[in-house]
Amino acid sequence: MLKLIFREDKIVDRNNSFFDKIEKKTNVKQEDIFNLANSVSGANFKDEETVRNLIRQVAKLANKPVSKEKEDELVKMIINNNMPIDFSSLGKMFGKK
């Protein structure tokens, strides 16, 4: 089980193997994931500009381009709380065309 402890606005990982696996698969550093998580803590996900900035940050971290059309679709879904929560739907949304 993964346990994270928040201490002085920093996250201390109790199970690095989880993040090691993520880093190997995505080439995104654990520190970058935590920095992103901290940056959106308390963010207003009803604000279009906030959501667009988040999408761009994630795309940059993952080194994956996001088309204007896909960004618009994601923004609309996030702002309206219509994001699918099951992996099958998410996979279809982000899958290769």
pLDDT of residue 24: 85
pLDDT score of 91: 65
> Which long-range contacts link 33-40 to residues 24+ away (Cβ below 8 Å)?
33/61, 34/10, 36/61, 37/11, 38/9, 38/11
29/95 Cα distance (integer angstroms): 23
Residue 66 in contact with residue 74, Cβ under 8 Å? Answer: yes
* Averaged pLDDT, 43-62: 90
Strands (E), 1-97: 4-7, 10-13
pLDDT in tens, 56-74: 998 898 888 999 999 999 9
Q: Is the pLDDT of residue 47 over 70?
A: yes
pLDDT of residue 8: 45
C-alpha–C-alpha distance, residues 29 and 70, integer Å: 25
Q: What integer pLDDT is reported at residue 1 of this predicted model? A: 41
